[in-house]
Structure 1
Amino acid sequence: MTTQDILNYTPTTDSLADKIILVTGAGDGIGKVASLTYAKCGATVLLLGKTESKLEAVYDEIESLGLAMPAILPMDLEKASFAQMNELATLIQKEFGRLDGVLHNAGVLGALTPLEMYDPITFEQVMHVNGTAVFMLTQALFPLLVSAPSGSVVFTSSGVAKVRPFWGAYALSKQMIEGMSTIFTEETKNHTALRFNCINPGATRTNMRAHAFPGENPLTLKTPEDIMPAYVYLMTDMASGVKGQVIHCQPK
């Protein structure tokens, strides 16, 4: 399966039938659209985010469509402890019995400024939310994921993961994510069915993109809906052989 085949994949109402998938940052942007899309493809979606009202809005939209009942999991990844993440894993095991996939979508932009001027507190926040917390949550959920028949972890990367001046902690955090995916892959690929991959959504019409490029016309960008084929495909059983890849949704 080539990258182009993945990008051209056509999701169906049963692409993710009976799967349990957790999405972080599920209340906004790509996370919200991915949650709705996964639900439309048959999955039970666990909506994780820090703003409960936004999660409730996504929950209500899924419910109004008559799809599998989602669950709301309020969690602020900047403040959540590893113990709380382990408690979350225990709750998922108790309520759902398993976990088939995780989309690590939550993230913060931080500042766009030279490293010599970068505020250390902001730096630490970005690296924690975009990197350390992703590692912690993955580790907490690992026993559930590795026991799934075809567990899938999808990390969100970025085009700036390839050294981009002035993007500071955000660029460094995405380099960390791609490295994390590679290491997890190498450590698990020969003895488990679990797979780790990254998605680079590219220039997409989101609030974060608008903050990063305030002078850009958002109507020239693809919408989150436009890039969903790759997000769905990596969660399907058809992607069982795709491990350690970075899928660029908008290759140049």
Structure 2
Amino acid sequence: MSQTTPLAGRVVLITGAGGGLGGPVSRAVAAAGAECVLLGRRERTLTPVFDSIVADGSPEPALFPLDVTKAGEDDYQRLVDGIAADCGRLDGIVHLAGRFDGLMPLATHPIDGWQRIMHVNLTAAFALTQLSLPLLQAAGDASVVFTADRPAATPKAFWGAYGVAKAGLEALMQMFAVEHAQSDNLRFNAVDPGPCKTALRKKAFPAAVELGALPEQIVGPYVHLLSAAARGTTGQTVAAQPD
């Protein structure tokens, strides 16, 4: 391990790896020396990320296409079992999978849409973290990093299920941190990327998306929180500062 490869020898699961933030974070984590397990809805969105990581000369990642909109406990367990069998360990998780269907009042929010958004943004993160605990606890230094969105989680009109899910996600992170506070080798934190030029932000703020940072500019906190340098930090939400 060196200052340029602080994640050397580690295996890190990244959800939403084919998304606007997922690709840059995956490349940064791989460039830091980790073997990444790239989880995304479609293989066609994961393949370019795989190719870019290999082109960078970083450790070759593994691909795991999974539509978390439809996934259940058996699907998540199969993923965890596959990581155990193929990689032999799991040192970290980065939760980037997200779904946002647009601003809408609660009075007209479709219930099935509410359920999908809650599942992708909150339930899937809980399930994967819970089922991964045995592997994480067996690691010498393990870290789970969630992706917060504090502006959306602050109660205000029209943010619907997405806002509720993001508020719940931060509470979930803090609960995991409290329940594992006695462990010196397992920590739980979150990164709030802030305004970022992604498809999700464009859907929420179509006229202001150009005001956000490039995803490549806010990957640093993810790598830091996964590394041994963050040991002792848990239950915190870190606001990303664009490089």
TM-score range, shorter chain: over 0.9
User: What is the total number of aligned residue pairs between the two structures?
Assistant: 240
Matching residue of 1:184: 176
Matching residue of 1:6: none
Runs of 5+ in structure 1 lacking a partner? 1-10
Partner Cα distance (2:209, 2:198) in 1: 12
Matching residue of 1:4: none
User: Which one of 19, 23, 26 corresponds to residue 17 of structure 2?
Assistant: 26
Is 1:146 matched up with 2:146? no
Partner Cα distance (2:19, 2:173) in 1: 24
Conserved 8 A contact 1:22-1:48:
yes
Conserved 8 A contact 2:91-2:139:
yes
Q: Per-residue CA shift, 1:173-228, capped at 9, x if unaligned? A: 0011011011111111114521111111110011111111111151x321111111
Partner Cα distance (1:46, 1:115) in 2: 36
Is 1:221 matched up with 2:212? yes
Amino acid at match of 1:193: N
RMSD: 1.5
Partner Cα distance (1:65, 1:135) in 2: 32
Is 1:104 matched up with 2:91? no
Is 1:167 matched up with 2:159? yes
> Are residues 117 and 86 of structure 1, via their aligned partners in 2, closer, same or farther at CA, if it must alter by over 3 Å?
same
Is 1:113 matched up with 2:104? yes
Q: Per-residue CA shift, 1:125-173, capped at 9, x if unaligned? A: 1011111111111111111111111110011110211223210111100
State which drifts further: 184-193 or 21-30.
184-193
Conserved 8 A contact 2:89-2:135:
yes
User: Which one of 219, 225, 231 corresponds to residue 222 of structure 2?
Assistant: 231
CA drift at 1:63: 1.2
Conserved 8 A contact 2:198-2:209:
no
Amino acid at match of 2:94: L
Partner Cα distance (1:40, 1:239) in 2: 18
- State the TM-score, normalized to the length of structure 2: 0.95
CA drift at 1:13: 2.8
What does 1:65-84 correspond to in 2, within 5 Å? 65-84=56-75
User: Which one of 117, 121, 136 corresponds to residue 126 of structure 1?
Assistant: 117
Partner Cα distance (1:166, 1:80) in 2: 27
State which drifts further: 30-39 or 191-200.
191-200
Matching residue of 1:244: 235
Conserved 8 A contact 1:110-1:123:
no
User: Which one of 182, 197, 201 corresponds to residue 189 of structure 2?
Assistant: 197
- State the TM-score, normalized to the length of structure 1: 0.91
Matching residue of 1:43: 34
Partner Cα distance (2:3, 2:41) in 1: 30
Partner Cα distance (2:112, 2:40) in 1: 22
Runs of 5+ in structure 2 lacking a partner? none
